[in-house]
Amino acid sequence: MKDYDVLVIGGGPIGLAAAAELANSNQQVLLIEQFDFINQKGSSAGSSRQFRVQYAQKYMSELALESIPFWEKLQKTTEDVLIDQVGSLWFGDPALSSQEGGIEAAMEVMEELHIPYQPLQGKEIESLFPFTNIPEDYSGFFQKDGGIIDFKATQKALLAICQSAVNVDLLAQTPVTNIQSLENGAIVVTANRQEYYTSKLVICPGAYVNDILKHFGLSINIDIWEMSSAYYRKTEDIKLPTWFVFQKPQDTSLFYGFPEVDWAHPGYIRVAPDIPDRIIQDPSQRSPYPSKKSLGFNETWVKDHMVGLDPSSEFTATCLITLSNNSKELLLDFLPDSVNNSKNIILYTGGWAAKFVPLLGKILSDLVIKGTTPYNISNFKIDYKNC
Ligand code: BEZ
């Protein structure tokens, strides 16, 4: 039986990014994924995500800026454009704050970090972008470094690095059935009736986190947002950046959207409610259908406020987003001291993390190999529970 320097559980984008970084550091790596690589069963479902550098928290903006060189490095490995830098538009009620931050707080952070942005008032937003009936008291900004991430191409690029690395073994369709972390420092992972030995473990299971933590007698509280989105047919030649609108009431009126892209439904534009269809605690509770209610809010927003789109939802889809239930932006930590070898076992599980994927790979690789990282992860500590 082969021994590995590092075993990575979870082959979503962050597990792939961690394995790619570990390969680069000459580690012998085994990456185990319970489904196929690049699947639609978790947080990475769908084809696009937003990249942005503005945040209401300075440490999050700093992390987003720090991720840029890692995106540039990954970009060099593929001909697909990973981030189309169309800019990021935030507008709406300026004082409102949501999971994604808030306009005023983000502007303060951008000032502090000297991130350039263009402040905008309601009517200016309508004159520059294809929106209509925007209330006069709405305001916002345009930040040029934001963009749209081709999320499938990102995962393909990371998978290609792992597939071509001689020191990475990849196992798909292989659920982990047991993990033993022994007093002598060995970690034994059982999957598909085989035992794999390692001394270091990176765990990136997304929504399936508690299926893995149970092997250590642990669990964590998470909220898994089931979310719907849809595409709308273009009826005019409109140009959009990525955008987010902050409005009240927040449980029916937060929306975000994208420009047209050639990698997903050309001729259509994706718009989505930033509202959970349902909040569940385990992926097995997932519904296979997009919520008619959420898509109804979405269609009304498109009909009333967007120019050049037919407001009938098409190509509808769902995804699961794993979030902390105590407002932490990301969940990233070593296992607690009660577990043998806890300082050799690092967990990443949740947050709106697509924009940080290649940087998170580096952070996880640093933490599991060296025990430290120069990046500020102090805000992402996990509250574990014994079970
Ligand atoms: C984000 O930028 O983090 C984000 C954008 C749209 C929906 C949810 C999150």
Ligand 1, atom 7: closest residue by C-alpha: 274
C-beta separation of 218 from 386 below 8 A: yes
- What are the beta bridge partners of residue 170? 31
Q: Which atom of ligand 1 is nearest to the CA of 52?
A: 2
- Domain shared by 7 and 36, yes or no: yes
Q: Which of 256, 348, 375, 384 is catalytic?
A: 256
Q: Identify the band that residue 374 occupies on the pLDDT scale cut at 50, 70 and 90.
A: very high
- Domain shared by 307 and 370, yes or no: no
DSSP, residue by residue, 88-152: EEEEE-TT-EETTEEHHHHHHHHHHTT---EEEEHHHHHHHSSB-S--TT-EEEEETT-EEEEHH
Asked if the structure places residue 268 within a domain, the reply is yes
pLDDT over 70 at 100, yes or no: no
CATH code for the domain in which residue 360 is found: 3.50.50.60
Q: Can you tell me the distance from the alpha carbon of 333 to that of 147, in angstroms, rounded to the nearest whole number? A: 29
| Model confidence pLDDT, tens digit, residues 133-152 | 999 999 999 999 999 999 99
- Domain shared by 264 and 318, yes or no: yes
Ligand 1 in contact with 215 (CB < 6 A)?
Answer: no
Q: Which residue range(s) make up the domain with 335?
A: 2-44+152-220+327-386
Q: Which atom of ligand 1 is nearest to the CA of 256?
A: 6
CATH code for the domain in which residue 289 is found: 3.30.9.10
> In angstroms, what is the span from residue 83 Cα to ligand 1's centroid?
15
- Domain shared by 169 and 313, yes or no: no
Ligand 1 in contact with 100 (CB < 6 A)?
Answer: yes
Residue where a domain terminates, one of 324, 341, 372: 324
- Domain shared by 229 and 301, yes or no: yes
pLDDT at 21: 98
- Domain shared by 257 and 381, yes or no: no
- Domain shared by 229 and 94, yes or no: yes
Ligand 1, atom 5: closest residue by C-alpha: 50
> In angstroms, what is the span from residue 189 Cα to ligand 1's centroid?
34
- Domain shared by 159 and 183, yes or no: yes
Counting ligand 1 atoms within 8 A of each CB, the residue from 256, 275, 327, 355 with the most, and so the one to mutate, is 256
Active site residue 211: no
Asked if the structure places residue 57 within a domain, the reply is no
Active site residue 49: no
* Distance from chain centroid for Cα 276: 15
Q: How many domains does the chain have?
A: 2
- Domain shared by 236 and 97, yes or no: yes
- Domain shared by 233 and 138, yes or no: yes
Q: Can you tell me the distance from the alpha carbon of 8 to that of 204, in angstroms, rounded to the nearest whole number? A: 7
- Domain shared by 215 and 162, yes or no: yes
C-beta separation of 51 from 41 below 8 A: no
Residue where a domain terminates, one of 324, 341, 357: 324
| Model confidence pLDDT, tens digit, residues 271-313 | 999 999 999 999 999 888 899 999 999 999 999 999 999 999 9
Q: Identify the band that residue 1 occupies on the pLDDT scale cut at 50, 70 and 90.
A: low
Residue where a domain terminates, one of 293, 324, 355: 324
- Domain shared by 123 and 262, yes or no: yes
Active site residue 352: yes
Tokens 């933490």 belong to 367
